[in-house]
């Protein structure tokens, strides 16, 4: 059989792809089954320690999440190029109203990541306030938590706490992204909150907005 990720040939009985390390279980749709890197025993969910040998699984789970993060970042970059090209064509045709849909509602809207990055840069970050407010509301709707803290409240709490609340919200956003991935039937490592928090601490909040918006856009397309 072949690895669904890189296409390499995998021998029968192998637990991991010999080229890219992708678990064989994920190639058969059993995305919830993983294997301990120390003892090789299978486990499900996101336990902190291997139920067979007691080895810590935190680093392994975070590593798998980081790998998925890299893939998501690459997807976002490719979408950025396509959306920027489409945006240029729409500007020529005078058709830009579609890029600013209302947030929230029974179904989440698709938002052009390329356009929002450009507007954030040319407005010296001011547009990111609007983007954050809409993203919070859309994320609540997409994760089936429409009554959770709304975008304006999140922005104000971040403002009065000098950005401290933003760290907390980014960590909690990871749980909502996990809910979206589960709804879409995608592999979920459960560690997105940690990655979003690290990026926020590194002053890379714009990348967080892009990654979270990419997950929301996936839900919008379903």
Q: Does 5 reside within a domain? A: no
Helices (H), 123-163: 127-142, 151-160
Helices (H), 184-204: 192-201
47-51-57 Cα angle (round to 5): 45
Q: Does 81 reside within a domain? A: yes
**1, pLDDT greater than 70:** no
30 or 159: which leads in pLDDT: 159
Q: Does 77 reside within a domain? A: yes
Domain count, the chain: 1
pLDDT of residue 30: 39
Q: Does 8 reside within a domain? A: no
Rg (CA), the chain: 19
**130, pLDDT greater than 90:** yes
Q: Does 46 reside within a domain? A: no
Q: Which of 149, 134, 105 is nearest to 213 (CA)?
A: 134
Which structural domain range is residue 89 located in?
Answer: 61-221
Q: Does 106 reside within a domain? A: yes
**31, pLDDT greater than 60:** no
pLDDT of residue 87: 62
Q: Does 125 reside within a domain? A: yes
Tokens 């989440």, residue?
108
Which 3 state secondary structure label does DSSP give 93?
helix
Q: Does 20 reside within a domain? A: no
Predicted confidence (pLDDT) per residue in 162-192, tens digit = 999 999 999 999 999 999 988 888 877 677 8
pTM, whole model, 2 decimals? 0.58
């Amino acid at each position: 059989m072949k690895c669904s990720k890189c296409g390499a040939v995998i021998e029968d009985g192998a637990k991991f792809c010999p080229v890219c390390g992708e678990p064989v279980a994920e190639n058969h749709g059993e995305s919830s089954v993983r294997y301990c890197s120390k003892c090789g025993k299978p486990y499900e969910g996101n336990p902190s320690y291997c139920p067979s040998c007691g080895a810590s699984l935190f680093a392994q789970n975070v590593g798998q999440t980081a790998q998925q993060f890299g893939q998501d970042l690459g997807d976002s970059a490719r979408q950025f190029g396509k959306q920027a090209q489409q945006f240029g064509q729409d500007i020529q045709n005078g058709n830009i109203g579609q890029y600013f849909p209302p947030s929230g509602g029974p179904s989440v809207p698709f938002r052009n990541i390329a356009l929002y990055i450009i507007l954030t840069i040319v407005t010296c970050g001011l547009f990111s306030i609007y983007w954050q407010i809409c993203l919070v509301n859309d994320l609540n709707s997409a994760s089936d938590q429409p009554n959770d803290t709304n975008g304006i409240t999140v922005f104000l709490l971040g403002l009065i706490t000098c950005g401290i609340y933003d760290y907390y919200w980014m960590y909690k956003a990871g749980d909502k992204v996990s809910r979206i991935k589960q709804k879409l039937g995608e592999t979920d490592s459960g560690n997105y909150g940690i990655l979003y928090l690290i990026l926020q601490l590194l002053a890379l909040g714009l990348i967080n907005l892009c990654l979270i918006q990419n997950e929301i856009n996936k839900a919008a397309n379903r």
